[in-house]
Amino acid sequence: MSAAIDIRKAKWTSPVAIRIGKRSPEFIHGPDEAIDYLEHRWPQHEGAQYEAARRRCIEAVNNLRHPEIAREAFIAAAAEAKVLA
């Protein structure tokens, strides 16, 4: 029997480095943090990858999707927005 994982507090296996504007790279560690960036700091709130990342991260926070799937979607959104560091 495997132990249940509290996905809401889960961290990704490795953080995702992003750079918004001319700031130093920032490291996003999990779906909760990713949602905050997508909703409040992202340079554009549109695009297929942005929508998919937002949806996957919300699903991960609500225990409907594994956090690593959300991580991959977040990386794709960062690449789409040209903020992947």
Q: How far apart are CA 54 and CA 37, in angstroms?
A: 10
pLDDT tens digits along 27-37: 999 999 999 99
pLDDT at 9: 73
Q: How far apart are CA 54 and CA 15, in angstroms?
A: 17
Q: Where are the domains of the chain?
A: 35-85
pLDDT tens digits along 23-82: 899 999 999 999 999 999 999 899 999 999 999 999 999 999 999 999 999 999 999 999
**Is-contact 11 32, C-beta < 8 A?**
no
**Is-contact 57 73, C-beta < 8 A?**
yes
Helix-then-strand count for the chain, H and E: 3, 2
Predicted model pTM: 0.88
Q: How far apart are CA 1 and CA 58, in angstroms?
A: 27
pLDDT at 3: 46
